[in-house]
Amino acid sequence: MKKTKKLWMLAALPMLLALASCTSDNDDNPLVPTDEVEAQLQKMTLREKVGQLFYVRPECLDTTIHFNLPSGIDASSDDIKAIKLQAVNATMKGVNEKYPVGGIILYAHNIEDEAQLTAFISQIRALKGSPLLCIDEEGGRVARIGNNANFGVETFKSMEAIGNTGDPQNAYHCGNAIGTYLNRYGFDIDFAPVADVNTNPENIVIGARAFSSDPAVAAPMVTNYLQGLKDAGVTGCIKHFPGHGDTKADTHYGYAQTLKTWDEMLDCEMITFKAGIQWGAQLIMTAHIGTPNVTGSDVPATMSPVILQDKLRRELGYQNIIVTDAMEMGAITQQYSNAEAAVGTLQAGADIVLGPQNFVGAFDAVVKAVEDGVLTEQRIDQSVRRILRLKRQISNRQ
């Protein structure tokens, strides 16, 4: 009798944890549009809808800037840093009139000091598309503001150091401290925390950015960090699905893969992502890694309907926003053209195309794909509904 009771409790534990950990962020089914969101959607033109799908660096709106990104270099490259775009100019305003944008992500080179950042964000707020303000502010080595000497904010050694304390409250403090200053400066979304489980000692891209090599340690750290951000008024994003911790190569520069099976991922990587989903994560960022023993091909997860739809949406039940990692990274640009990448990731199931190598070209490609029937407007609407709902949630908390 005691053994039967124990087995029942173990079987019921995931359900009990899910019920206990869900937050108000995820109370409504995102697939069921509210009247307000639906009314807004019906008034939008196709171009306005497509614009909502793109979250770009500021340089993408300035078509007078001509630089050739070396294959495999992202928006933090020296070539772009030298431009030091830190204000909205007339060209950007002109491009934006025809190309509305759903979000802007700022990098370290876009940020000088508090006065400049405040002015820049005010200018971005006035752009067409009502863009949300985004940043990669994980803490540790990826902290665009925290690592800027002109900002006197609390800094953190690494997420690994926080994980090593074994106390999830330290992860909450980290998320809350970062969220507090991001909210003060005007940011809406922090592309953090890293939910990867750093199981490969040869990993050169994740490493100390992850909380732990043990998913049982990492999972509560991830959810507490998310809660800290939320309590500070900032929306977090767990990354990089389905897990970048067991890879060797760096997707900024080229192809990377994990040879794990899905069952092996369920025993490791999915523990942290499931925890984030159950908590109510509003955004999940994809990894550009191949998962051949899951999908049967070398297609990056960002471009794979098996990973994004079959696994993340259907099996794990995630219904909120899927955002790609930066599409200008080598793992994408070495395999796909700018147009193929933008259209392909939407076909695979992503909602937000982050950092395309050429925003104007990618935007035009998606519009043409709808006009040609390669993508349906109904498919575009699915993603726009999720994005508009998030924007309303963010607006309501301000």
Domains plus CATH for the chain? 2-397 (3.20.20.300)
Please list the pLDDT of the chain residue by residue as tens digits (398 residues): 333 333 332 333 343 333 333 333 433 444 445 899 999 999 999 999 999 999 999 999 999 986 555 544 455 556 666 788 999 999 999 999 999 999 999 999 999 999 999 999 999 999 999 999 999 999 999 999 999 999 999 999 999 999 999 999 999 999 999 999 999 999 999 999 999 999 877 665 788 999 999 999 999 999 999 999 999 999 999 999 999 877 755 667 667 889 999 999 999 999 999 999 999 999 999 999 999 999 999 999 999 999 999 999 999 999 999 999 999 998 999 999 999 999 999 999 999 999 999 999 999 999 999 999 999 999 999 999 999 999 999 998 86
Cα 314 to Cα 61, 278, 279: the distances in Å are 36, 14, 17
Tell me the C-alpha distance between 126 and 13, whole Å.
Answer: 48
H or E element that contains 132? strand 132-135
Q: Are strands 137-139 and 142-143 parallel, antiparallel or unpaired?
A: antiparallel
Buried b or exposed e, range 308-328, using 16+ CB within 10 angstroms? bebbbbeebebebbbbbbbbb
HEC secondary structure over 327-351: CCCHHHHCCCCHHHHHHHHHHHCCC
Angle between helices 35-43 and 377-397 (to 10 degrees): 120
Instruction: Output the six-digit token pair for 240.
Output: 């990089």
Sheet (strand 103-106) strand order: 235-236, 189-190, 132-135, 103-106, 54-56, 353-354
Phi, psi of 322 (to 5 degrees): -105, 120
- For the annotated catalytic residues, the residue numbers are 252, 325
From first CA to last CA, the distance across the chain in angstroms is 53
Predicted confidence at residue 6, as pLDDT, reads 30
Angle between helices 269-279 and 215-231 (to 10 degrees): 30
